[in-house]
Amino acid sequence: MAMIQLETVDLRLLRLFMTIVEAGGFSAAQSELNLSLSTISTHFADLETRLGLRLCRRGRSGFQLTPEGQAVYDEARRVFDTLERFRGRVRGLRERLTGTLAVGLVDNTLTDPRAPLERVFARFTEAAPEVSLIINVRPPNELLRDVIGGQLQLAIASFPRIVPSLSYQDLYNETIHFCVADGHPLFTLPDEAIDLDEIRRYRLVARSYWGARDLKIFAISTPKATVSDMEGAARLILSGAYAGYLPDHYAAPYVKAGRLRVLLPKVLSYQAPFQVAFDANRSKSPVVDLFIALTREEMTAPEFRPGPVHHPARQM
């Protein structure tokens, strides 16, 4: 078990372990756990296996924790104390959370399994039923503008720039592919015949909020088409007259159906970091804190590691 990512079963086993320690041994814990001695021993062995540690010594001298067992007990006690404080805080928040929360979202994330916002909204509504939600879907640059201006309390997107006055928390990386559709001259061209020089011969579409950076790798300053959202890009690309970028989850059904082709993924595909952006000074409130906490619980990818974004580059 990786201790930085506890699962429900791990918490149950740790609770059983704590009960055994606090009761003074396996036999003494039977009545409190309402389990047979053999079942307790099996669960305890499961915990030691998951941790990869020996937690106690049992013999004529009685039940005795190993140094590792004592350390695990101390940490488990801190974990459960923290959980209890969290439950108490949420209970308190539920009774007094009121007002309005304005959330900004970028378009076309519904098909992304890494962005289960519906679960965030469900949990938030359960925890804060008196809070009214306002959801605005806009391009990332407009979301940043409205967070700065106070029209939005927070926004979730892959942002084209970092605003020093705002705070950001990382969520996950979205993979972006460069695509052409059936009917485009590059669609049937062999891989070995395609390079950047060949691609720049054709009409390219760019997103307005990324400026010229979508096309920087092609050394082209002016695209043949500019769009304000991902659906506009998809429509143009699927026409067969343009090539451009689409998120992997958005392009996937069209690729599977044979309508889209991903070009030069090792060269042109890149990772776009999704973040939640907010003004920590203006938006500091239990409502915002709760929504951000739930968003991070549901949307932070375990494998996410913050790092530089190679393409397109973001600027301050």
Alpha helices in 67-136 (DSSP H): 67-96, 117-127
Mean pLDDT by runs of 10 across the 316 residues of the chain is 55 88 87 87 89 84 86 88 75 71 92 90 92 93 91 92 88 93 95 91 83 70 83 94 94 95 93 91 81 90 40 34
What's the confidence (pLDDT) of residue 4?
44
Give the whole-angstrom CA distance, residue 212 versus residue 56. 62
Which residue in this structure is represented by tokens 């699962």?
7
CA dist 271 → 177, 245, 311, 313 (Å): 9, 12, 8, 11
Give the whole-angstrom CA distance, residue 247 versus residue 268. 12
Is residue 237 within 8 Å of 246, Cβ to Cβ? Answer: yes
What's the confidence (pLDDT) of residue 313?
34
Q: First-to-last CA distance in the chain?
A: 40
What's the confidence (pLDDT) of residue 305?
36
What's the pTM?
Answer: 0.63
